[in-house]
Structure 1
Amino acid sequence: MFRQTPLRSVTLALIVAGLAAHAIWGGFFDREIVIEIAILALLAVSLDLVAGFGGLISLCHGAIYGIAAYGFAASTVKLGLGTGPGMALGLLLATLFGLAVGAVTASTTGIFFIMATLAFGQMVYVGVFRWGWLGGDDGLPGVP
């Protein structure tokens, strides 16, 4: 870990304020970029929490991120749900998958944990890649 200094706190606050201002007063493209930065920052922070505080190197974070994204996309495009219910469904699917992976890998450590999470990540990749309902290797068109 690193020491929290006033300079780091002020720098972080200025970066967040700049991104927020850019998202509010910028155009559509600017807002989309800031949202993408925020989503990927949350993914990086979650991986840092697991690896830094838990000491576990997970290779399944991308799969959980993908399950949430595909859950949202499929629920809005294929099922016709709105944005709010779609986000809730994507979050629910990712949470359930994370709990299932956690239940299976809870007793493993070290390289065994890494390989188990890699296996789960690859299972999700192959499942989405081959499932025609989700668009397979062409992806899911028409996502809002």
Structure 2
Amino acid sequence: GEIIANHNHCDLKGLNEAIIGCDVVDEGEISVVSLINRAYLVKGKKNLTSEKIEECFGSRSIEEWAYKYLLKLNMVSHGGGHELPGVDRLEKVIFFPEGRLFFLKCGSSTDVYEDLWNFPRGYRVEGIMERIQALRLATHYATLQLKYTIKVDF
């Protein structure tokens, strides 16, 4: 078959810092991709309206060039999204110079985590794709199934 995508993930390394198209693995660490769910390619639609911009920025002034730029954007959920078992919702995130704190509502309590990297999770790609289509945020382009993973050491 024809290869139409060669990677299914990006890695956020910090605020406004992303590694796209590859995984960064520390010395001696093993990175194994075990994605058994389908993945989807979608084409985003221009879906940030004047009303949404007003809702986000309120009465704060926004320069005309930025306003025009925002009107051309599309907002689509990254990947399929992850489900955190036992977590009802994310209450808030507090950013500070050395990292961030995640406040997770779990039943009647709120738990705080500094690192969610090893937090148990499920992949909820089907529900996210359905929601993206229901909100008309993107058009479905292709459905993918991971067959091969290649690791290259430099």
Q: TM-score, normalized by length of structure 2?
A: 0.28
Higher helix residue share: 1
Higher strand residue share: 2
